[in-house]
Amino acid sequence: MYTGMLHTHTLMVMLFLLIYLIKTILLFFSSTDKLAGFSKKIKVPEMIISTLFLATGIYLAYNTGNVGSWLYVKILVVLASIPLAVVAFKKGNKVLALISLVLLIYAYGISETKSPTFKMASMVSDYEGVASEQVGEKIFSEQCSHCHGMDGRGVLSGAKDLTASELSLDDKITIINNGKNAMIPYSKILSADQIEAVGNYVHAMAE
């Protein structure tokens, strides 16, 4: 369910941005007739796209672990840019159109750069000074607990309760390496030793 929502959301965001881009280009480089014609043709699909875009966004915001305040910034930016754009295209106001396009691209940019993969990759070197027996626990609390919960029982973003997992240690390590559905692959983020450490840590939770 979560993964389906995530894919739908991403696709809708892309389509949404594309329509905005085309409209802005028409506004700047073409006649108002062409813009009006395009806006009229795209009206119904655009309504469907923006409804799906907002509905999946709301679902994701509710069901995603606490990823940080950037999520609220993003939501605010999107909500501010939509009425701006509506006014801009209606009145043919180029400045407003540009501002709203920049805001939307900015919102898209923060989701990309603040996404778990990006954020986590920048945290890895932090484990260097940590005593080896604590590495698993530290990695878990920093990289895994916002979906799995500090106790491993969390089920945010469609995560599995790790204390109830019946997978073997090897299978768990495979999932940690390759990721699964909403869980990102860690093979490029953590070293093999770190993956083994956190694998052992979560395996011990299920015993």
What is the C-alpha to C-alpha distance for residues 34 and 23, in angstroms, rounded to an integer? 9
- CA-wise closest residue to 193 among 143, 133, 116: 133
**Span from 52-60, 107-115, 124-132, 177-185 in contact with ligand HEC (CB under 6 A):** 177-185
Secondary structure of residue 122 in the 3-state scheme: coil
Q: DSSP of 138-186, one letter per residue?
A: HHIIIIIHHHH-TTS---GGG---GGG----HHHHHHHHHH-BTTBPP-
108 binds ligand HEC (CB under 6 A): no
148 binds ligand HEC (CB under 6 A): yes
- Look up tokens 């941005």; give the residue: 17
Q: How far is the CB of 88 from ligand HEC (least distance, A)?
A: 36
Q: How far is the CB of 53 from ligand HEC (least distance, A)?
A: 21
Out of 5, 60, 82, 176, the residue judged to bind ligand HEC by CB under 6 A: 176
Q: Which of 106, 153 has the CB closer to ligand HEC?
A: 153
116 binds ligand HEC (CB under 6 A): yes
165 binds ligand HEC (CB under 6 A): yes
**Span from 32-40, 49-57, 82-90, 169-177 in contact with ligand HEC (CB under 6 A):** 169-177
Q: How far is the CB of 198 from ligand HEC (least distance, A)?
A: 4
**Span from 8-16, 28-36, 47-55, 181-189 in contact with ligand HEC (CB under 6 A):** 181-189
Query: What would the two tokens of residue 3 be?
Result: 């993964």
3-state helix vs strand vs coil in the chain, percent to 5: 75, 0, 20
Q: How far is the CB of 29 from ligand HEC (least distance, A)?
A: 41
Provide CB contacts within 8 A for 51, sequence distance 6+: none
What is the C-alpha to C-alpha distance for residues 132 and 101, in angstroms, rounded to an integer? 48
Interface with ligand HEC by CB under 6 A: which residues? 116, 139, 143-144, 146-148, 157-160, 162, 165, 167, 172, 175-176, 180-183, 186, 198, 202
